[in-house]
A and B are shown apart, each in its own frame.
Chain A
Amino acid sequence: MSASPTQPLRRKLLLGLAAGAAVTSPAALLAKPLRSQARIVILGAGAAGIAMANRLRRSIAGARITLVGARAEHHYQPGYTMIASGLWRPERVLSSTQQWLANDIDWLAHDVTAINARQQWVQLSNQQQLGYDLLVVATGCQLNYHQIEGFETSMIGQHGIGSVYASPAAAQATSTQIDALIAKGAGRALFTLSDTPLKCAGAPLKMTFTTVSRLEKTGQRERFQVDFFSPYQNRVFAVPTYNEFVLKRWQEQSVGFFDQRLLTGLDAHSRQAFFRHKDGSTSKEAYDFIHVVPPMSAPDVVKASDLVWQDGPFAGNWLEVDQYSLQHRRYPNVFGVGDVIGTPFGKTAASVKMQAPVAERNILAFLSNQPLNARYNGYTSCPLITSIGRAILSEFGYEGKLMPSFGFISPTEESWLVWMMKEQMLQPAYNAMLHGKV
């Protein structure tokens, strides 16, 4: 079946199926389940996909909801920095995907290999073709380590190489490499940043702070050189308030800062890193430990589809959605949630917590032929660990506007309470989010 992407795709059919659509407001839409027989497919069985599946299951009765994603093991990714800082065991972030899903959600444990938005089907790795009336893209993002010459993920944990993003095991291996640096008694640690949008963009900074904290604990901090390489001019974080704080703190901590330098390659055996400068010149830096941050994008299957941004800063790399409604700009029956979307901010679990209810309300409104009134304001949050034992609760949204949730917690003050929130409370909040409860 084909339909013009600019027309309200199968909306009449969906309207007919939405028998209980006598509701008038988003609040009313959420008050009782909407009746619909729409075939809803959710791509991605990570945090965003699971949260959306559980929410839609509760708010829509009669629909066939299918979750697509091969990963049987669920990872609490905000815990990776805790593992890589030597504070948590990897087991603490592991659970099974199945345990988070309501019983009546169909979960197909396969990856999506193709998306045809015009004809409204997706193809899975088992060659199954799945038609949909409404698609939620929540695939997460892709770590493009291969774009760093000479680098393979198997190197993480060897030759002084660490990277917090790859997996819980990689985070653990990163911590082991930092331990090895400390055991050496002296050396140089390099921390890098990619020039693409990043999920948990604070993670590279946290890794720098916690490593400095560990080095300080040895009582011989002066024997270690710590340097941070950023591709941006005088910037490591998008929000000026936090950028200034971090750079100032690093100055106090004797962390070297080198801007406008992008990591392009590694020679693992000789422990040399290659950087390209803004003016096109290159340089190489010796290291004893390096923290690698990969370039990121939407997964290839999204990039190869018609769903990807066609122009602008996210062109060819991220899912095209309206940054407020989270609805696809050209295919109205497609919504996006989580790391995959091309919006100015919004690649953390905290973002998903805010995006999921917005997408849910707008999906219900779409199925009921109502205006899409729910708005995502770009909220994202990152308890920025500034030392092992204290953190700043940075919360902000579009245009870098600070959005503190708790009036009594200063968004610019280091605090033990915020550390406790990161250490003890965020995982429960995340779990509640997966269940669609917050």
Chain B
Amino acid sequence: MSLDGILMILWYAAKPWLWFIALLVLALVASLWLGRHKQGKPHGLLWPTAIAAGLVAMLVAPMLTQSQLGYVTTWPDRLVLLTIGIGTMLYGWLLLKSWFRQA
């Protein structure tokens, strides 16, 4: 399948979720903007919280697709699951980093 074809299908897949993607971006922008004046070092719980969010996403993702974790068996399966986990972790970190600060 051509790259054009793959991108076109991804676009069609994303279309029903554009509102959700917009919401995520909006939440991120709002969090960064509102928290821009917060001072202090990052809180020690920032990374553990982000990592926990990533792990929860990895556990929940198969169930959200009406499958189960036990069926994540091939290396592409694991790679996709890992990508979901890392993506959620990074998003969570960016979302919380302005707020998880200590004086």
Contacts of B73 in A (CB 8 A): 390, 413-416
Do A420 and B74 have beta carbons less than 8 Å apart?
A: no
In the complex the two chains form, what is the Cα distance from A188 to B68 in whole Å? 27
Instruction: Contacts A428-B15, A429-B12, A438-B8 given; indicate if A389 touches B77 (C-beta within 8 A).
Output: no
Report which of B12, B66, B74, B81 forms a contact with A428, defined as CB distance below 8 A: B12
In the complex the two chains form, what is the Cα distance from A390 to B1 in whole Å? 22
Do B62 and A416 have beta carbons less than 8 Å apart?
A: yes
Residue of B nearest to A387 (CB): B71
Let me know if B67 is at the binding interface, CB within 8 A.
Answer: yes
Report which of B1, B13, B15, B66 forms a contact with A388, defined as CB distance below 8 A: B66
Do B8 and A416 have beta carbons less than 8 Å apart?
A: no
Let me know if B44 is at the binding interface, CB within 8 A.
Answer: no
In the complex the two chains form, what is the Cα distance from A389 to B62 in whole Å? 8
Do B1 and A405 have beta carbons less than 8 Å apart?
A: yes
Contacts of A408 in B (CB 8 A): 76
In the complex the two chains form, what is the Cα distance from A365 to B1 in whole Å? 24
Q: Size of chain A's interface in residues, with CB distance under 8 A?
A: 26
Let me know if B65 is at the binding interface, CB within 8 A.
Answer: yes
In the complex the two chains form, what is the Cα distance from A429 to B72 in whole Å? 23
Do A428 and B13 have beta carbons less than 8 Å apart?
A: yes
Number of A-B contacts (CB under 8 A): 73
Do A431 and B12 have beta carbons less than 8 Å apart?
A: yes
User: DSSP class of B's interface residues: helix, strand, loop or mixed?
Assistant: helix
Report which of B5, B15, B67, B81 forms a contact with A389, defined as CB distance below 8 A: B67
Residue of B nearest to A431 (CB): B12
Let me know if A180 is at the binding interface, CB within 8 A.
Answer: no
Instruction: Contacts A413-B74, A416-B73, A419-B71 given; indicate if A389 touches B66 (C-beta within 8 A).
Output: yes
Do A415 and B9 have beta carbons less than 8 Å apart?
A: no
Do B9 and A438 have beta carbons less than 8 Å apart?
A: yes
Do B66 and A87 have beta carbons less than 8 Å apart?
A: yes
Q: Which of B33-76 contact A (CB under 8 A)?
A: 62, 65-68, 71-74, 76
- Beyond the given pairs A390-B73, A420-B65, 4 more chain A to chain B contacts, judged by CB atoms under 8 angstroms and listed by A's residue number, are A389-B67, A413-B73, A417-B80, A438-B9
Ordered nearest first, which 4 A-B pairs have the shortest CB separation?
A389-B67, A428-B12, A428-B13, A390-B71
- List 10 interface pairs A-B (beta carbons < 8 Å), by A numbering: A387-B71, A388-B66, A405-B1, A413-B73, A414-B74, A420-B65, A420-B67, A428-B10, A432-B12, A438-B8
